Structure 1
Amino acid sequence: MNILLWTLQILIAIHTAIGALWKFSNPAQSMQSLAAIPNAAWLGLGVIELLCCLGLIVPLLYKPGAILAPLAALVIAASMLLFSLLHWQSGEANAGPLYYWLTVAVLCVFISYGRLVLAPLK
């Protein structure tokens, strides 16, 4: 279980870092469903996502930071749920992004549960 969780943590960290860097180069308005997010908040989400990437990886190098992994995963899940909610409320016909964000949110919740209950880092 520990290997699965570390694999997911690394993959989600890479995914989130790419998403954060994308936020710095593209405004939220590039997607109709995310246009409700002000540009400053969009950039702030990018910074938060970069910090979450670190939170997912830090326990690999610094064991006392183990609580950061489940917290970072929950923050990423919350942002994915926010994007899903905005997409759903926009009424956009393409449901692809909605399923994508919900899948990432579920994986992040699994990571958090796994690190808190199934295979806690010590």
Structure 2
Amino acid sequence: MNIVLWILQALLALHTVIGAGWKLFNSEQAVPTLAAIPSVVWMGLIPFELLCAAGLVAPVVAASLGWLVPIAAIGIAVEMLVFSGVHLCSGAVDHGPMYYWLGVVAVCALIALGRLFIAPQ
């Protein structure tokens, strides 16, 4: 299980770094249902996501930083849940993006629960 969690952590960290880079070059207007998010908050998500990505892989540098993994995973999950909520409030009919964000939430939950209870670091 430890290997599976490491693979998921690395993939989620990569996903999050790519998302931060995408936010840097695209405004919240690029996803119409997220247009309600203020630009300042949108840009503020970039350092948040980079910190979360670093938290997911921090135990590679020092095993004592393993406590950061569930916190980072929960932080990313909360962000994705907020995106899903904003999407629902927008009245959009196509829920494809929301299903994607909820899939990321599921991966985050697996990582957080796995690192808290199954294979703590």
TM-score, normalized by the shorter chain, greater than 0.5: yes
Which residue of structure 1 lines up, in the alignment, with residue 66 of structure 2?
Answer: 66
- Pairwise CA RMSD of aligned residues? 0.7
State the distance in 1 between where 2:94 and 2:69 align.
32
Q: Deviations over 1:68-105 (max 9, x none)?
A: 01100000000000001111111111111010000001
Match status 1:12 vs 2:12: yes
Displacement of 1:46 in angstroms is 1.2
Normalised to the residue count of structure 1, the TM-score between the two structures is 0.97
Match status 1:92 vs 2:92: yes
Which aligned segments of 4 or more residues in structure 1 are displaced greater than 4 angstroms? none
**Identity, % of aligned pairs?**
50
SS at match of 1:50: helix
Equivalent pairs, count: 121
SS at match of 1:102: helix
Match status 1:113 vs 2:119: no
Q: Structure 1: 5+ residue runs without aligned partners?
A: none
State the distance in 2 between where 1:119 and 1:89 align.
37
Q: Deviations over 1:6-46 (max 9, x none)?
A: 00000000000000010111110111110111111101111
